[in-house]
Amino acid sequence: MKSLIKNIISVILEIECRFVLKKYKPSIIVVTGSNGKTSTKDAIYTVLSSAKNAASDSSGMKQRGIRRSEKSFNSELGVPLTILGCDNPWGSIIGWLGVISHGIELIIFKTEFPSTLILEVGADRPGDIKRVARWIKPDISVVTKIGKVPVHIEFFPTREALVEEKLALARVNKPQGKLVLPADDADILAVRKDNPVGALTYGVDVHADVSATYVDAIYADRTDETGGVIRVPAGVSFKLNYLGNSVPVRIMGVLGVQHVYPLVAAAAVGFARGMTLTAVIESFGEHKPPAGRMNVLEGKNGSTIIDDTYNASPDAVTEALATLRGVKVSDEGRKMAVLGDMMELGKFSQDEHKKIGALVAEILMGECLRDGLKDGIAKEGGISSCTVGALASRNLLVTVGQRAKMIRDGAIDAGMPESAILSFDSSAEAGAEIAKIVQKGDIVLVKGSQSPRMERVSYALLIDQKRAAELLVRQDAEWLAKK
């Protein structure tokens, strides 16, 4: 019954949105792909709505405003809700009737409507994006990286089928539209062959129309609860390159290339809309990265949390671990990788979880080896000579959920001692236990898919829990009520 009602509401909203788009004719920017859609959508909003650039679009016409998908409104209901400018009523029939009534008002009466819509469009099942492509024709289509084993792949027969689904909107761009595509994904770039519209490529450390180079962490001194000063990672820096020009960029409060890719893609959208390099760089100063995406948060007992709890795929976890590998830890601190289940991987699930485990072992044990050599613990014999005690006193792997136990298995198979691994069935249990052992200087990466609710671990470690609604994902009443 619920499914039937949902389908009826979806059809009604689609019909309303068709009329609304035909009436108000907004410029439409869509963001599809797998990795970093929400971050990219938010970065595009920052660039286009910045104070100095919101006054006019590329044609010089006065803007009537820019609207973006809220949070991750990217489904068959989320996209229409964004277009109509309504909140999600969730299970309220009265609320949905109100949404439908608002749509009718937009159609009948002449009212204020945004001149630009930035829509995030996702695909959980085959046909999700193709259905949207029947009635939305973008002016600019942005495709994010899809990865070798992307999330939701269990619902598609092959990766190629998933890629085709993701490219459905890019194939129906308006005649004078633009494509913004990742330069390092040949499967995505292939869409240019069948599409007459212009394209801008973007990427990190690759040849692209818009690129980022020299990505590095920024460090700052922080006073802990005891009044001591500790040096911690605080942001990311890089150089933005376009048309032979290169400008340094600093973004505070986040780490890793995971935030560089969205900003470079957003810059490409800005250039496609006629913005200058100077204007784009200035807009970055107003950027506020979304929660749950490699955010640097102050943890208890002088620790630092890298909160990447929004979602997880093998590629995204690999990138997060690469960032953990690269950050510097204080002499008294450790690195912890707290990893939850990666969902919707289908037949790839076991192998991908085990691969992540082997990578964790390489990163954490490799650091133990370097520390051991420095301290005289290990003189010969490679990683095996790094004692269990030395490893356990430095770095830890923590797994959460049944699937994540395969991460544990992969780490053990790679030679990581069980004494350096903790496993829990739930994020609440894991958070409570980690909060007891976290110490000054520790850097704790927390990541997993939505289902294991890894934000509960971050909450348990967060020093200022009163700001959880501002700092963490899934803090609204509907999510908090779920077990």
Domains of the chain, first to last: 2-206+261-284 (3.40.1190.10), 295-480 (3.90.190.20)
The mean pLDDT of 368-385, rounded to a whole number, is 43
Q: Are 209 and 190 in contact (CB under 8 A)?
A: no
Nearest to 235 by CA among 308, 303, 306, 180: 306
Per-residue confidence (pLDDT) for residue 99, from 0 to 100? 96
Element (H, E) at 389: helix 388-392
Query: Per-residue confidence at 362, pLDDT binned at 50, 70, 90?
Result: very high
pLDDT, tens only, 229-240 = 889 999 999 999
The answer on pLDDT for 271 being more than 60 is: yes
Lowest model confidence (mean pLDDT) among 77-81, 119-123, 363-367, 435-439? 363-367
The answer on pLDDT for 8 being more than 50 is: yes
pLDDT, tens only, 138-165 = 999 999 998 888 877 888 999 899 999 9
Q: Are 96 and 89 in contact (CB under 8 A)?
A: yes
The answer on pLDDT for 421 being more than 80 is: yes
Tokens matching residue 470: 């501002």
Per-residue confidence (pLDDT) for residue 401, from 0 to 100? 97
pTM of the complete model: 0.89
Tokens matching residue 65: 């405003």
Query: Per-residue confidence at 368, pLDDT binned at 50, 70, 90?
Result: low
Nearest to 130 by CA among 204, 91, 181, 76: 76
Nearest to 222 by CA among 288, 294, 296: 296
